[in-house]
């Protein structure tokens, strides 16, 4: 009888406490607020399990200089403002975001991630983080070019590093332009 009373009380009290926590404005919502209890743990756990389950296992394009160069141009246009460039300071946008976007060319970046994992992140994005999914704005080849660039950031040739460190008006022209990749996106990985 005591067990049943405790169970019923737990079923009623825990949701009521959670409701009060959120409805009273005590939950952190500003980018300057500290994490909610267990927020990072549960978010990372869900993220890691979902990516491992859904990420593509094979890469449909080759890690060539032309693909790296195309990926570098796309990265500068769509990603650098949040995720940074080699040998550059964090932007004001990246500094003010929460969660803080990883600086992908600092330290080990994402070079320890498989290209399929990085592709999944580019394709889908992440809710409530500021990281958009690019599945509706870029085609598959473009997303794979960025994924290969990031997965191999520690191995990219000097020509690609020059694109990443050049200011917009001084971007070097690519030596070999990859074929146009206007293919329609396939069924999205989920």
Q: Domains of the chain: which residue ranges?
A: 63-170
- 98 SS3 class: coil
pLDDT over 60 (residue 190): no
Q: Which residue intervals of 84-157 are DSSP H helices?
A: 92-96, 115-124, 140-151
Q: What pLDDT sits at residue 37?
A: 81
pLDDT in tens, 138-166: 999 999 999 999 999 988 999 999 999 97
Q: What tokens appear for 138 in the block?
A: 């870029």
Global confidence as pTM:
0.78
- The residue among 79 and 2 whose pLDDT is bigger is 79
What is the helix (H) or strand (E) element at residue 11, kind and residue range? helix 2-23
pLDDT in tens, 94-138: 999 998 999 999 877 677 799 999 999 999 999 889 999 999 999
Q: What tokens appear for 76 in the block?
A: 């500068």
Residue in 71, 138, 53, 60 with CA at minimum distance from that of residue 110: 71
Query: 63-170, which class in CATH?
Result: mainly alpha
């Amino acid at each position: 009888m005591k067990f049943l009373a405790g169970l019923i009380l737990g079923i009623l009290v825990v949701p009521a406490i959670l409701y009060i926590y959120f409805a009273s404005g005590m939950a952190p919502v500003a980018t300057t607020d500290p994490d909610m209890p267990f927020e990072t743990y549960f978010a990372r756990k869900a993220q890691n399990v979902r990516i491992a389950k859904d990420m593509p296992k094979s890469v449909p394009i080759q890690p060539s200089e032309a693909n790296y160069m195309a990926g570098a141009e796309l990265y500068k246009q769509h990603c650098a403002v949040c995720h940074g460039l080699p040998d550059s300071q964090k932007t004001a946008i990246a500094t003010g975001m929460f969660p803080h976007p990883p600086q992908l060319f600092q330290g080990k970046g994402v070079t320890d991630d498989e290209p399929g994992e990085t592709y999944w992140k580019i394709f889908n994005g992440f809710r409530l983080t500021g990281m958009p999914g690019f599945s509706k704005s870029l085609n598959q080849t473009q997303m794979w070019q960025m994924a290969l660039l990031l997965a191999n950031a520690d191995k990219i040739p000097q020509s690609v590093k020059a694109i990443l460190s050049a200011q917009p008006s001084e971007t070097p022209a690519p030596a070999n332009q990859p074929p146009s990749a206007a293919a329609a996106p396939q069924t999205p990985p989920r």
